[in-house]
Every structure is written in C-alpha cells, then in structure tokens.
Structure 1
Amino acid sequence: MIIAYLAGIFLLSILLATVIIPRILFISYKKRLFDVPDSRKVHKTPIPRLGGLSFLPVILIALCSVTGIRYYTNHPVDMLWASDLFIQYLFLIVGLTLLYLVGVADDLVGVGYRYKFVIQILAALLFPLSGLWINDLGGLLGLHEIPAYIGMPLTVFLTVYITNAINLIDGIDGLASGLSCIALGLLIIVCALVGQWTHAFLAAATLGVVITFYYYNVFSVSGRKLFMGDAGSLTLGYILSFLVLHFWQKTQLWDPFTMNLNMVTVSTLLIPLLDVVRVFYSRVSEGRNPFTPDKNHIHHRLLRTGMKVRTVMITLLMLSLFFVVSNFILSFYINTTFMLLLDLAFWLTTHFIIRYFIMKHETATGRKWYKTYRNFFW
C-alpha cells in the first residue's frame, strides 16, 4: 500500500506541475518577464525564468495531500520518526519559504548576492535548530562521532554549500534539473529501502515537478520554453541538502553508515559540489571575488571543446550516473575515505581530458580563422 502512496504523490506532483507551468508561461509572456541574454549566458533570445515558481506550491500540495490521505486511511507516517520528523519538516517549510521568496524577488527585480547569502545562512541554521545536524562522519578521513560544536556549524556550511552548488550549476538547459532528477531518483530508492517513507515522499513530490519542468526546459518549442530561476534552484538545493544530511546523522533508531549510504547519496551531487570548489579556487587565485559570475563552470568548459549545448547536458548527466553507480558498487568493498579519493582522482582526470580537448579545439579554430583571413586578403 505504501508504494501506491509513493506513486500517487509522484503522479499528483506531475499533474499539478502540468497545470501550473503553462499558466506561468502565459503570465511571463503577457507581462514580458524574461531572462535577457548577455555575454555570460548561453541562450540568445529572451526566455522566461519563472519556472521555479511552481516548485514549492506543487511540492507542498502533493506532500501534504497524500500525507493527509494516509491518516484518513489509517496509514500514519513512520511512527519511529514521527516525534523528530514533525519538528524537522516544520522548520524545513520555514526555510523553504524564506529561500523561495528571496528567489522570486531575485527572478523579478534582482537581489544582491550578499543578501541572498545571509538568507541562505538563516535557512541553514534552521536544520540544527530542528535537531538535524551531522553527528558522525562514518569513518570519512578516519573520523566517526563528532561533537555538536563541530557538527552544527558543519551542517550549516554544507547546507549553504549544496544550495549554492545547485544554483551555480544552472547554466544550460536541463543541467540543474537533470542532475536533481538523478539525485532525487536515487534518494527515493534509498529512503524506501531503509524505510524512511516520509523522506521518500518528499523526494517523489519534488521529482514530479522537476521532471515536468525538465520537459518544458529541454524539449519545448520556442514560445513554451522557460528557465527555473533562483526560486527553483534555491528550493531544489535546500530540499536536496535536507534529504542528504539525514544520511550523516546517527541516532538510536538509525545508522546510515553500515551501508556507506552517506557517500552513496552525496555521489549524486558530486558534479555541482566539486565544480563550485574549482570555480571558487580559480576566481580567488586570480584575485577576483569568488561570487563574481564568469564562464568557467564545467558546462562552459565543455562548450569550449566544441560540444553543443544538448551534448554537454547529456555528457554531464551520464557522468553523474557514473558517479552514482560506481560509488554504490564500491560501497560494498571499500570505505568512504578511499571512495572519496577515487572520486577526486576521477574528477581531476576528467578535467585534464577536458583541458586537452579545449586546447585542441581552440588550436583548430585558430588555424581555420588564419586560413580564412589569408584567403580574404590574398
């Protein structure tokens, strides 16, 4: 019966998103609420960026409706988790609302990165306040149980980190939403396997609206295309951080480290997480503000190799799936530290390969330009 509820919340989310997103498109075109292209952006024509407005309402309606139906049919939420989950979900909704509102403001009129950063920190502080914080590293770097004065700040940092990573990777069609779909799909499976059905329901409600948005973002013809904007990316990042952090908290009723589930769930977000580190390091090493936007993200670098936008998106989604599958297999044989080291080694190797093809493509382009220039004048 519980699987039926899970499928129901997923389908309800898709249905609601299918109804709401076309209305957002209509309003965007009527009021001319567009994301205007500039030198840093990939798209060449104005496109609405309010797709993320649908995320929070759809998720809450689907999640709360199905949870209410469960109670009416005498299938209450997981009793072992009820006392803690109720408080955690209340604070989750508060944090989501804060980020959603600042995201809407940024999509409509623009908001400075400092103000957004402060709101992100306030929203992240709600997790430790609700009782959700990292209290064990599961053997990562040889560390296990950690005290609250380390775990709570670490939780806030990682929440802001993940939220920003999803925001910053949202640079080409289907990338942020596609990576989020992979992460949410795995989280549904893992949460269902360990009996955390409420978290599985949250992931399913989120996946339903994101898949629907993915269709409009990637496959829609001109006039029906839209971006998620900050309202969507901040909402997605906060929900993903909430779900992933549960696999870094050990309780009397729950030990996620027996199956290395902590690293398996993080593997779904490795591309945006590692890309943020590389980009911020590059900006700081050049003496620039790390929050200043540029065209140095991994999708920009792949575009410089000569790939088309759609090919770049598919390549990065396949790379994310590789991380997920390989880490899941490795979790049965090696510990989290070796798993992380292998992931980092593969990531560095990938960037050396990308750099090689960038140089090859730019050299070939330079030769082509020289021949054209010579033929024009001679």
Structure 2
Amino acid sequence: MTSLNLTLLPFILVNLFFVINFDKLLFFHYILDKPDKKRKFHLKATPLAGGIILIINLLVYFITISLNKDLLLSEVLFNNNFELYIFMTAAFIIFFIGIFDDKYNLTPNHKFLLLFIIIFVTLTLDQNLLISSIYISFYNEVININKFSLFFTLFCFLVFLNAFNMFDGINLQASLYSISIFSFILFYFTNSYLSKILLIYLIFYSYLNYKNKSFLGDGGSLLMSFLISYMFIKLYNNGQIKFADEIFIFMIIPGIDLIRVFFKRILNNKNPLKPDRTHLHHLLSSKFTHFKSLIIIQLIIIVPIGLSQLDINKLFIILATIFCYSLIIYKLNR
C-alpha cells in the first residue's frame, strides 16, 4: 500500500465511524430540518449534518497536509502555505454562515451580503484565484479581463454558490452531482488529494442521505459549492483545465435552472433569492417518482460532461444541453 493510500485510510475510517454511529452522536442532531408541507415534504425532522461531517473531513485534511510536506507540494491547488490558510479560513467562515442560516434562517439578502464579503476578501488575499483570461475552445481569440478579474471571479463564485444551493432539492441530487464532478476531475484533470478526500466523504454521506438520515443543509451546500468553484478556478489558472467552456459544461444545468427561476420570480414580483418550488427537481418530482426524477437530472448533467471529454465541438454540446433542458421544462409545464 502506497503512502498516499495510507493517508486516505483515516478519512475512510472517520466517515465509516460517523455512518455507523450517526444516531448516537448527538451533535449531528443539533440542527433539524422540519417538514412544513409547503416547501419541505420529507416525513420527519431530519438532521442537517452533512455540512458538519464535511467540515470535519476538511479539518482532518488541513492537519494532514500541513504535517506532510510531500502532500502539500503535490497538491496543485496551493502554491504555498499562505494560500492553504486563506482557503481553509474562507471555507470555515462560509460553513458557519450556512450553519447560522440553517439554525436561524438568515434573510436571502443578508446571506448574499455575507457571502459577497468573505469571497471578496478571499480573492483580494489570494491573487492566484483571480480569473484574468478566458480561453474558449471554439473561439480563437483570448478574452483578457485583467481590469475586471476581481469582480468577474466574484460573480462566478456567487452564481455557482447560489445555483448549487438551490439545486440541492431532493435526496442524492447534490451528492451524485458532486461525485460526478470530482470523479471527472480525478480522471481527466488532476490527481488531487483533496478530490479523493471529498469523494470518500460524498460516498459515505450519500448513504446517510439515501437512508433519509441527513441532509447537507446550507452549511454543507455552501461549503461544497465553494470547494467545487475553488478547485475549478485553481485548475483552470494552473493550466490543468485548458478552456473555460469545459467548466461551463459541468455547471450548465444548475446555472440555467438558476437563471430561469430568477427571471420567473422577478416577473412575479418576488425576491429572486427567496426559495420556492419551481426548480427543475420540483417540477420533475411533481410528475415522476423520486428515482426517475433523479435519473433524468443526472443524465442531463453527466452526458454533456462525458461528451465534452471527447473530440466533439463544445459549442454544440452546450447548445444541445440547453435545448434538452428547455424541452424538459416545456413538457413539465404543459
């Protein structure tokens, strides 16, 4: 067994321990998501413990990589210890914003403002996280955005955090989507230690979610979306991902669903950040079983991602995905 595999063993054991003893560990049951029969139709109050387990994994990761110089040097996400510390600080603050929201129901505007501040500060401190140039596979010219790199990167973070947060609507939806992302990252882009740890966490968490024992909650949803965004941007800036449209294909379904719902709420004179039941997963669940809804969602996410790794024009993949999504929405609203 290699030294890298040995460093993954504690994460397997920790997550296995949490799954086996989940009902006995009282701190996992501190924040409960109670059904209200308006937006939340699960059968019983369910712990929002997914984020707590995730942040524990991240803490163990931080301790492990800090004590092992070889692991830190091999981790493509950080050029130095300072970037690692900035990353961990931002991750913990975003997690606590989510946990606070889970417990006390922050207003959408207050939550957005807090996320804006922490990501703005993170980008200011870590210049290597800024997107300064956009390379598109089907466009020959490089789009330089040096003057606007801070605000463009901030915009990308905030859009995906909100899209992922709203996308986490039915059991296994967010976790399977995240598993797909980190699996493709490991297979095609980089042998990231963090990706392996997050995959381990997601597999064990998916079991709890499947058994209706735990949800991600905003603490888990915001943290996971931050980790995905951070990883994609760092891999893009470091050259492991060559084109921005490759990343766009990974995020297209949550992104266009967010845009559709936002405009629909605005047209109905509602706060675009205030939750409702008009997302893709809600519409599918009203017509199909949970299993069929999950299959449809995962297919329209995974198929375009898989095709993007082949020698197929990515503009065609993007347009075809938008068309399929639009057709599904049209059929569901008839």
Code of the aligned partner of 1:127: L
Give the match for residue 148 of structure 2.
150
Cα separation, partners in 2 of 1:82 and 1:180, compared to 1, 3 Å: closer
Give the match for residue 205 of structure 1.
197
User: TM-score, length-normalised on structure 1?
Assistant: 0.78
SS at match of 2:44: coil
Mapped to 2, the partners of 1:275 and 1:230 lie a distance apart of: 18
Mapped to 2, the partners of 1:9 and 1:186 lie a distance apart of: 21
Cα separation, partners in 2 of 1:91 and 1:63, compared to 1, 3 Å: closer
Structure 1 residue 340: deviation in Å? 4.1
Structure 1 unaligned spans of 5+: 360-378
Mapped to 2, the partners of 1:150 and 1:96 lie a distance apart of: 24
Q: Which moved more, 1:7-16 or 1:173-182?
A: 7-16
Cα separation, partners in 2 of 1:345 and 1:50, compared to 1, 3 Å: same
Mapped to 2, the partners of 1:28 and 1:17 lie a distance apart of: 16
Matches within 5 A, 1:182-201: 182-192=180-190, 197=191, 200-201=192-193
2:253 maps to which of 254, 271, 294: 271
1:127 maps to which of 123, 138, 144: 123
| 1:350 equivalent in alignment to 2:325 | yes
Contact 1:28 1:34 (C-alpha < 8 Å) held by counterparts: no
Structure 2 unaligned spans of 5+: none
What do residues 170-226 of structure 1 show as CA deviations (whole Å, max 9, x unaligned)? 11000011101111111122343xxxx5xx1111112211211111101x2x6xx11
Cα separation, partners in 2 of 1:314 and 1:13, compared to 1, 3 Å: farther
| 1:229 equivalent in alignment to 2:211 | no
Structure 1 residue 313: deviation in Å? 1.5
Mapped to 1, the partners of 2:200 and 2:241 lie a distance apart of: 26
Give the aligned CA root-mean-square deviation in angstroms. Answer: 2.8
1:324 maps to which of 289, 305, 308: 305
What do residues 336-373 of structure 1 show as CA deviations (whole Å, max 9, x unaligned)? xxx245424432333323432553xxxxxxxxxxxxxx
Give the match for residue 53 of structure 1.
52
Structure 1 residue 43: deviation in Å? 1.5
Give the match for residue 365 of structure 1.
none
Give the match for residue 110 of structure 1.
105
SS at match of 2:133: coil
User: TM-score, length-normalised on structure 2?
Assistant: 0.87
| 1:243 equivalent in alignment to 2:231 | yes
Give the match for residue 208 of structure 2.
216
SS at match of 1:137: strand
Give the match for residue 92 of structure 1.
87
What do residues 206-260 of structure 1 show as CA deviations (whole Å, max 9, x unaligned)? 2211211111101x2x6xx11111111111011000011124426xxx4742xx4
2:296 maps to which of 312, 315, 333: 315
Cα separation, partners in 2 of 1:134 and 1:294, compared to 1, 3 Å: same
Contact 2:250 2:301 (C-alpha < 8 Å) held by counterparts: yes
What do residues 71-107 of structure 1 show as CA deviations (whole Å, max 9, x unaligned)? 3xxx454379698343322211111011111111122
SS at match of 1:20: helix
Mapped to 1, the partners of 2:84 and 2:323 lie a distance apart of: 37
Contact 2:253 2:301 (C-alpha < 8 Å) held by counterparts: yes
SS at match of 1:138: strand
1:288 maps to which of 264, 270, 273: 270
**Structure possessing the higher radius of gyration over alpha carbons:** 1
Provide the aligned length of Structure 1 versus Structure 2.
330
Mapped to 1, the partners of 2:50 and 2:204 lie a distance apart of: 10
SS at match of 1:78: helix
Mapped to 2, the partners of 1:59 and 1:27 lie a distance apart of: 19
Mapped to 1, the partners of 2:302 and 2:96 lie a distance apart of: 32
SS at match of 1:16: helix
Cα separation, partners in 2 of 1:65 and 1:182, compared to 1, 3 Å: same
Give the match for residue 362 of structure 1.
none
Structure 1 residue 322: deviation in Å? 0.3
Mapped to 1, the partners of 2:322 and 2:147 lie a distance apart of: 32
